[in-house]
Structure 1
Amino acid sequence: MYQDILVPTDGSDGTRRSITHGLAIADRFDATVHALSIVPEGPLGTLQTDEAIPAAERAVECVAAEADREGVAAVTAVEQGVPHETILEYADENDIDMIVMGTQGRTGLDRVLVGSVTERIVRMADAPVVTVRLTDDIRIDDAEEAEEIARKTAANEGYDGLALADQPHRTSASWIVPLETDAGPVHVHVDAVSGEARVAKGPDQ
């Protein structure tokens, strides 16, 4: 019934539940998840900073990592354009069977913008649209706390020689903490809501 499921993500807390829902649906129907992040473009041009594109890339990479953990096929894309128009175009061009979207962004203006984009997609999309509302509060919003949890988790799983390989970053309510260990590089994913953590092994392990 569903072969291709689109999950737009901006890396904000409001997309966390939509990612979870999208992956669960994909797993149920053995479908492919399409993680799409958009660098917004308005009437006056592209609304981006130097960090906009790297942030968008991290957002889709986070979805791909979660999909890999769940055994779900995933493809990623970063586009520039008007968000709702770009999502609709992507859905048409890739024969998307379902779109799963959050109804809230981070706070303030983001919350309004994400809600507005979702509303337009619901009205205009040919494919079914599943909307997911964020209800959990972020509990771990400090990089140092995330690093501490990551180190403890890695140590409990038998990793030694722990050193921070790069700065932790958070997308979709999940901290990703890169560590160097005696066994090689690992990424520890820390859920910013629950505090639960897991170790994602590096490519050579």
Structure 2
Amino acid sequence: MYFKNLLVAVDGSDHAMKALELAVQLEDKFDSNLHILSVYRHYGMFESSHSLVRPRQELAGPDEALRQIAQEIVDMAAKRAEELGATGIKKVVKRGKAARTILEYSKDKGIDCIVMGKRGIGDGGGGLLGSTSNRVATLAHCTCITVK
């Protein structure tokens, strides 16, 4: 098996950072391109009233604040990947529902393997496997590796 394009989805969680470490090892072994993706989602006022995410209007709007946080997570992950020896890193921030956005990006960019943590910071009721990682592994067109 050969992986030309690897995607690691990161959200700042410990599991995501472990997934990043594995993705860097695979990137080195297969001389792959490494895509580091963080997905954010701005909840509308109705949705935010039903979540722990609270928009902060004083920060140039909630959408921009969340995009900035996602960018910081990608930048931190890319820095760590470089420390581990990765080259050819593509940093990506997208807005949308996590699983759907990961799947669409992976298909659009010809990703051969998606590496994810088993649970992220947003997983509340995913059972043994986080809901995002479970959905991606089930619906992806390519190989998926879930890291504990």
Output the TM-score relative to the length of structure 1: 0.58
Q: Which has the larger radius of gyration?
A: 1
2:69 maps to a residue whose letter is A
Cα-to-partner distance string for 1:129-188 (whole Å, 9 max, x where unaligned): 00001xxxxxxxxxxxxxxxxxxxxxxxxxxxxxxxxxxxxxxxxxxxxxxxxxxxxxxx
Aligned residue among 64, 83, 98 for 2:98: 83
Greater share of helix: 2
Moved over 3 A (4+): 41-51, 109-114
Structure 2: where are the runs of 5+ without partners? 56-61
Give matches, 1:179-190, under 5 Å. none
1:121 aligned residue? 136
SS in 2 for 1:99: strand
Q: Is the 8 A contact 1:39 1:79 kept in 2?
A: yes
Q: 1:48 to 1:39 in 2, by over 3 A?
A: farther
Q: After superposition, where does 1:1-205 map in structure 2 within 5 Å?
A: 1-40=2-41, 49=55, 50=62, 51-69=65-83, 70-106=85-121, 110-112=123-125, 115-133=130-148
* Larger strand proportion of the pair: 1
Figure out how many residues of one structure are paired with residues of the other and give that number: 131
Q: 1:35 to 1:71 in 2, by over 3 A?
A: closer
Give the aligned partner of residue 187 of structure 1: none
Q: Which has the higher contact order (CA 8 A, sep 6+)?
A: 2
Percent identical residues: 28
Local SS of the residue matching 1:110: coil
- Distance in 2 (CA, whole Å) between partners of 1:130 and 1:58 is 24
CA distance in 2, matches of 1:97, 1:45: 34
Against the structure 1 CA distance between its residues 82 and 129, is the aligned structure 2 distance closer, same or farther, given a 3 Å change threshold? same
